Amino acid sequence: MTASREKSEPRKLPMMPIRDMVIFPHMMTPFVVGRESSVRALEEALNGDRKIFLATQHDASIDEPKAKDIYQVGSICNIVQSVKMPDGNIKVLVEGVERAKSMEVNDRDGFFVATVRTGKTQFEMTPAVEQLMQRVTSLFEQYVKLQQSLNYETIIATVRMDEPAKLSDVIAANLQIGIEEKQELLAIFDPAARLARLADVLDIEIEKLDLDRNIQSRVKRQMERAQKEYYLNEKIKAIQKELGRGEKSEFDELRKKIEAAGMPKDVLDKAIQELKKLEAMPPMSAESTVSRNYIDWLLAVPWKKRSKETRSIEYAEKVLNEDHYGLEKIKERILEFLAVRQLVKNPKGSILCFVGPPGVGKTSLGMSIAKSTGRKFVRLSLGGVRDEAEIRGHRRTYIGAMPGQIIQHMKRAGTKNPVFLLDEVDKISSDFRGDPASALLEVLDPEQNTTFQDHYLDVDYDLSQVLFVATANVLHTIPPALQDRMEILRLQGYTEQEKLEIARQYLVKKQREQTGLSEKNIVFKDDAILEIIRYYTREAGVRNLEREMGNVCRKVARKVVKAGAKHREEITAANVGEFLGVPKYRDSEAHEKSEIGLVTGLAWTEVGGSILTTEVQVLDGKGKLTVTGQLGDVMQESAQAALSYIRSKAHALGLTREFYRNMDLHLHVPEGAIPKDGPSAGITMATALASALAKIPVRRDIAMTGEITLRGKVLPIGGLKEKLLAALRAGIFEAILPKSNEKDVAELPENIKNSMKLHFVDSMDEVLALALEGPLPVAVPTEAAVLAAVPAAELGGNLPAQQ
């Protein structure tokens, strides 16, 4: 359709603002006139040619609108009929003639007079216009079908016409849309543009009505289903009653299960009460689901079922020896526990905590305890747990609430006396949701855990017959109150010989089975296993050793598949590199010669012992001490204490009292990428400083460890076994140790006692006398006689065992 709009001559007409409606041309519309200004405008029109300009207000709440409160575009209407009503209002019927736009609005004698201009559009019909009219008519028919408040037959009859302008106006007038959208359609003078806009509006309205219809249909179906289920349930109840069965079935079964569960009286009462509530609830209600889940949990938790314990000490010892090599103290404690179980009828549950480096067998010890006692075994990993509800559960008021992990694992165990392993108890954290470690205080206290309360169950549950076993790598991250509730058993790292035996007896067989090999396919020589231990692993346990042996087995398995089942591979120290590549680690070795300011110290980490070289260089300067090597706060403070001691002994070192004013001291501990901390390097750093300042070399064949005080006293250290093993690996057979550690010799392995010469000292003066190759420039006044070096094997025979 080609269209052109011709401007008409302006004309003045009485104007009436209308509210909550838009009047379109070609439409007959009744409404009531009550405002005084509107009555006067109506009378003016009736006295003239019965033409009036009707325009909609922006805001219907304004009783006396101004010209700016009225839309500019409205309709010129004929007043068909007017009837005065008893209350003084006038009922009017008007017919829209054409749309017009007000150019000017004036107030005359209490009513509005508008100067309006109509816009007549000339156009011709084209196929595009006919197609648009058909589309709009089709959409409107869909709209009327979906819109239940419109009479389909009446409305469809009124829109069957060939004039685009009239069609668009009739449809727009019958749409149930907002005043603003109707006014927008009225303001479009071009019929084609009006039809296009109308098509968009109808698309949106049909989509809305479809959505409403789908929602109503879904709600209706759900209501019908619920009503149907209710009707059928009532019918079933009536049939059962007629048959003499009553309303029993499921609820009777639940009642029997509750009575047979062996619950304590208070728990039984609560379960019966909850069952009665469940019977009174509609089956499909959300509350009934919550109650049913609660009853199911009460029934799932073991209240009286127990594992029959195996109390044979001989069998338990056999199982522990089969599963673990070494660990004699741990095995003794477990056997003591079993012995007490035989003598005491109802002993309280014990809480053991195994503390040691990764890979030494803490978790597998828990499994062996369960196996040796005939109990069920459950494991709860606490690493990263930061929510108290993980331990105690959520209250039933929360959607999706469940019991805590303690109750869930008791359900999994199925008995009330399992071995319960709390793995990685040192890695619990806390945040705004609570502190799980605090929740564990009740669980691990034998005096309190008889009445453990889970937030979900909200009843007392007896955990006193559970054997709790906790594992941790370190103790300092476990709260003191929690440590106090556990018996701490320390598992130290394995020696090379122990690792060799573990590999022989357990790991080789296990890895052969996992890779499908037999004894004929692969043989590990002892020197090959030692090669892997020394140069491919660096750990206190055997986890990486097992992994590396698995790597070798997989490579051999590949060769067996290629060469045939008879292929045989012998793994030796010479060819282990072909399977594992370049060695990952190197053993720290003793220095080639004795040097000034270079001392060999001993260190202990979570993965075992190592030697720690400390070196000092004297430089020109102003008395500054520089400490490097990524040392922690404690180690830096030890360096300061060592320097203060050396300054106090300046005369003994042949130095003036103010020697430090003209020099700087640089203390460095190599392998700077590795963080280091702890006080046990105190005497090592003091010896390095004394050597550098006195210019006397330190013996290359001696290592040392010990904490130092400002007065030169040597304090005890930990990890003695691991440190001396590191010295042996480095080829050092003499060590200086604190006097207070002399009692620990009894617990050292025989190979250390027989191979090493140990010097036990009380003061730094004794350390310098043993470590320096030459005498100091001035005799050092010793605080105690220098302890003569005695072979450790001789010392060990007369020493009491550590208490």
Set 270, 376, 723, 739: catalytic member: 723
Element (H, E) at 390: helix 389-392
Rounded distance between C-alpha atoms, residue 306 and residue 314, angstroms: 22
Element (H, E) at 218: helix 191-242
The Cβ-side half-sphere exposure at 795, using a 13 Å CA radius, reads 24
Rounded distance between C-alpha atoms, residue 52 and residue 114, angstroms: 10
The dihedral through the CA atoms of 570, 573, 574, 576 has a sign that is positive
Rounded distance between C-alpha atoms, residue 230 and residue 248, angstroms: 17
Q: Tell me which residue of 782, 754, 760, 757 sits closest to 769, measured CA to CA.
A: 782
258, 320, 370, 778, 785 from 364: Cα distances, Å? 37, 10, 10, 58, 49
The residue type at 635:
M
Q: Tell the residue number behind the tokens 């029997």, with chain if given.
A: 256
3-state secondary structure of 171: helix
CA angle 222, 225, 229 (to 5 degrees): 140
Set 588, 680, 691, 763: catalytic member: 680
Q: Is 4 a catalytic residue?
A: no
Rounded distance between C-alpha atoms, residue 516 and residue 570, angstroms: 16
Q: Tell me which residue of 153, 135, 152, 134 sits closest to 144, measured CA to CA.
A: 152
The dihedral through the CA atoms of 745, 751, 753, 758 has a sign that is negative
Q: Is 138 a catalytic residue?
A: no
Q: Tell the residue number behind the tokens 């046990």, with chain if given.
A: 680
**In 716-786, alpha helices (H):** 720-729, 750-755, 764-771
Torsion-angle region of 110 (φ positive above 0: left; ψ -120 to 50: alpha; else: beta): left
Q: Tell me which residue of 686, 689, 691, 692 sits closest to 704, measured CA to CA.
A: 686
3-state secondary structure of 241: helix
Please identify every residue annotated as catalytic.
680, 723
